[in-house]
Amino acid sequence: MFSLKQNSWFIRKVVIWRAVASIAWSVLLLPVTTAVFVLLSRFSLFHPIQWISECTSLLMASSTIFSLVVLCGVVLITGFFNLEFYTLVPSISCSRMALLGTVLHPRQCVHSLVYCTMGMLVMWCASVTIGGRYSTLGSPCRQSESGEVVTCLNEYHVFLLLAGAFMGYSHSFLGVVQNTYYVSFQPIQQYKYPRFKGSLPMLVKCSVIQSLYSARNFAALYFFFGYVPKTWISSTLNLQIDSSVQPLDSLTGLLDFSLLYHLSISGTFLYLTWYLTVLLFRIYVTEAYSFPVQSTFTEDAEQCLPKVLAEKNTLVMKFLALQDLALLSQHSPSRRLEVFSLSQPGGHPHNWNAISRECLSLLSELTQRLVAHQDAVASNGRVKSQSASSDTRSASSSSSVLSGTEDVADTPRLSVPLRTPGSVFKSSVGGVNSALTAPFTPDVDSPFSSPAIRRLAGQQDPQSPWFGTVQSPHIMRRGPKLWSASTESQSNGSPPASPATVPTSPPAASQKPSFLAQWLQNRREQVKSFLAKRVLIVYLFNKLPEASSQALFADSQAHIWALQGLSHLVAASFSEDQFGVVQTTLPSILSCLVVLLEAVDRHFKLPHASSKPVRTVCSMGDSTYKTLRFALRAALKTAIYKITTTFGEHLKAVNISTEHRKRLQQFLEFKE
């Protein structure tokens, strides 16, 4: 999310000015879209000369100029919301209840209210521009009884205003459901004008389709509940209802071709105004930015590529820096030489060390995330033990992921407590409820989570007999035996434990729960079992099939650029690295890539991980994040092939493990 409160030089000097430029172009395009709307609203096939003259005079009228001023205000507010709400990592709800919570969030409610207001303003401008029966809220009418001329409610004007509010809320709601505020980077770089020109037909098509859907839904809604706002507005403003005019909350009133036509083109104008601002903002923000590799002056050091890559707070700057790294590694030999250069004095490869360290850190973080997710899925409510050797764990990881079970009896005794997948989350990626593991870890706070899942996440009931260091529900807690401790310590070659260090079991009375606690626990379990059988509860709380996998790779665009930058720099070092700075980190790079490839391969064996997403109807919501996992796997294999085809048989001299060497041999033989 781009927040104006971020105190970053890149936000102040680059992002804000790009947003201002996109808003300025949106304002400049308003007269063009307004002129097209006027031509379509006053269209007359049999009187073309009169049609052109009326449209020309209407464009010069004071009401149209005032409407343009109002529309400029709407564009400014839309641009501000774009800058405030946009994100580079999409928000993916893993359940329908989580999606409902996002929609009902106070921040989102304020956003919906503002867009409802802006929709009414745009529709008011459209009704004034169309004129005729849509122009004013009140119209003169004659009472049937006395024949007196009074002011009656113009239901056509109210119909368009309410339609604008409905379309505004639809736009805000779809912004959450379809991730309209997600900014994605194009795989092929284009200049701003060709990209805008190529996206314009899609923009108009999406505006028309969304307008037709909204017009259909609003007409159905107004048919059933239209009398409520009509009666309230007439009583509040003391306006009469003209009984001689067919009401619009009836079937004959809604089957008016002229009304539906003006509603559709007004909705298209509304969505086109908003979508145009969104498109220009995406084009300007994702424009490539070139960071200097090294600077001459000390005060400019924070703007250099190695420093920017290590940035954690300003996400847009880090993404653009990774994009710049991928571009320079492929298309800029002079900047690659700066990466391979040595510092003076000292002769240290600071640039390469900083860049490679940050890229490897990103890839290692993704690997840990994948391993944590695979452990959570493979355990499936059962605690999975780990061996003392990391080699044994890596060799048996694929079989344990597929089976999800391990033989507890065959597990060797360890001098340290066994680490469960819950402890893996805590130690590797910042805890069970961290930002990286939240989308795909078990919901231990859910009322329907099983006790095994709570044990998995490290949340045990103090009254439970398994509370403490017991790692499996199949192992009964027994009191310690003095001779067993001494025997094991002697067999392990360690001195026997002193009697003071031997733990003693607490009294049985302190472990027995009270009657009230037991009664409350039983009632709680009964309520949970009762709710778990309700269809609506299950529908709301069940995990969506592909959401966990999509959330796992939501920020994989950064990892794709890191893979591209590393692989092309390593390949270019074969002929351009004069000092051999890359060769020192080549073993760690190859090992990191192979380990990540193994983790990705295991992930794609999980259910729903390899299924293709369903194509959605044309919308401004960017759905490229749904296929990022496939793009990452392709980029990872391409990166390894880039290195292996460049170095060839020279890789046999690189000091890596035997397992990794066998996997790289598959790439050398083009068997992957």
More confident residue, 402 or 636: 636
**Coil, strand or helix: which one is 457?**
coil
In the prediction, which pLDDT does 274 show?
Answer: 95
206 forms beta bridges with none
Report the distance separating Cα 272 and Cα 34, nearest Å. Answer: 10
More confident residue, 265 or 142: 265
| Predicted confidence band of residue 437 (pLDDT cuts 50, 70, 90) | very low
> 416, 343 in Cβ contact below 8 A?
no
Check pLDDT > 90 for residue 325.
yes
More confident residue, 382 or 94: 94
Q: DSSP E strands: which ranges in 122-208? A: 138-142, 149-153
Check pLDDT > 50 for residue 480.
no
Report the distance separating Cα 224 and Cα 577, nearest Å. Answer: 73
In the prediction, which pLDDT does 417 show?
Answer: 35
User: What is the residue whose two structure tokens read 């009322």?
Assistant: 447
User: Per residue in 334-345, pLDDT tens?
Assistant: 999 999 999 877
pLDDT exceeding 90 applies to what percent of the chain? 46
> 172, 107 in Cβ contact below 8 A?
no
272 forms beta bridges with none
Report the distance separating Cα 511 and Cα 603, nearest Å. Answer: 42
Q: What is the DSSP string of 230-251?
A: HHHHHHHTT-B--TTSPPTTSH
345 forms beta bridges with none
User: Per residue in 9-21, pLDDT tens?
Assistant: 899 999 999 999 9
Q: Which of 83-87, 121-125, 413-417 has the lowest mean pLDDT?
A: 413-417
Check pLDDT > 70 for residue 493.
no
pLDDT exceeding 70 applies to what percent of the chain? 78
In the prediction, which pLDDT does 511 show?
Answer: 63
Q: What dihedral do alpha carbons 400, 403, 404, 410 form, nearest 10°? A: -60
| Predicted confidence band of residue 404 (pLDDT cuts 50, 70, 90) | very low
| Predicted confidence band of residue 1 (pLDDT cuts 50, 70, 90) | low
| Predicted confidence band of residue 401 (pLDDT cuts 50, 70, 90) | very low
> 271, 212 in Cβ contact below 8 A?
no
In the prediction, which pLDDT does 432 show?
Answer: 37
Q: Which of 94-108, 371-385, 459-473, 608-622 has the lowest mean pLDDT?
A: 459-473
Check pLDDT > 70 for residue 447.
no
555: closest CA among 185, 190, 287? 185
Distances (CA, A) of 477 to 174, 197, 375, 459: 53, 71, 25, 18
Check pLDDT > 50 for residue 41.
yes
Distances (CA, A) of 64 to 57, 69, 70, 227, 518: 10, 9, 10, 31, 73
Q: What is the DSSP string of 403-450?
A: H----STTSPP-SSPPPPHHHHHHHHSS-TTSTTTTTTS--TTSTT--
In the prediction, which pLDDT does 145 show?
Answer: 65
Report the distance separating Cα 231 and Cα 390, nearest Å. Answer: 73
CA 46 to mean position of chain CA atoms: 51
Q: How high does pLDDT run on average in the chain?
A: 80
More confident residue, 671 or 485: 671
> 25, 76 in Cβ contact below 8 A?
no
Q: Pairing between strand 138-142 and 149-153?
A: antiparallel
pLDDT (average), residues 476-485: 38
Indicate the DSSP class of residue 553: T
| Predicted confidence band of residue 214 (pLDDT cuts 50, 70, 90) | very high
Distances (CA, A) of 50 to 42, 63, 201: 10, 20, 30
The answer, as to whether pTM is greater than 0.85, is no
Q: Which of 182-196, 293-307, 461-475 has the highest mean pLDDT?
A: 182-196
Check pLDDT > 80 for residue 7.
no
pLDDT (average), residues 166-185: 92
Exposure of 460 by Cβ count < 10 A (0-12 exposed, 13-18 middle, 19+ buried)?
middle
In the prediction, which pLDDT does 616 show?
Answer: 67
pLDDT (average), residues 164-171: 96
556: closest CA among 564, 568, 545, 546? 564
pLDDT (average), residues 319-331: 94
Q: Which of 260-264, 529-533, 602-606 has the highest mean pLDDT?
A: 260-264
Q: What dihedral do alpha carbons 117, 122, 127, 130 form, nearest 10°? A: 180
Report the distance separating Cα 110 and Cα 499, nearest Å. Answer: 65
Upstream peptide bond of 345 is cis (omega within 30 degrees of 0)? yes
**Cβ contacts of residue 103 below 8 Å, gap of 6+?**
173, 176, 177
pLDDT (average), residues 266-280: 95
| Predicted confidence band of residue 364 (pLDDT cuts 50, 70, 90) | very high
The alpha-carbon radius of gyration of the chain (Å, integer) is 32
Tally Cβ neighbours within 10 Å of residue 46. 6
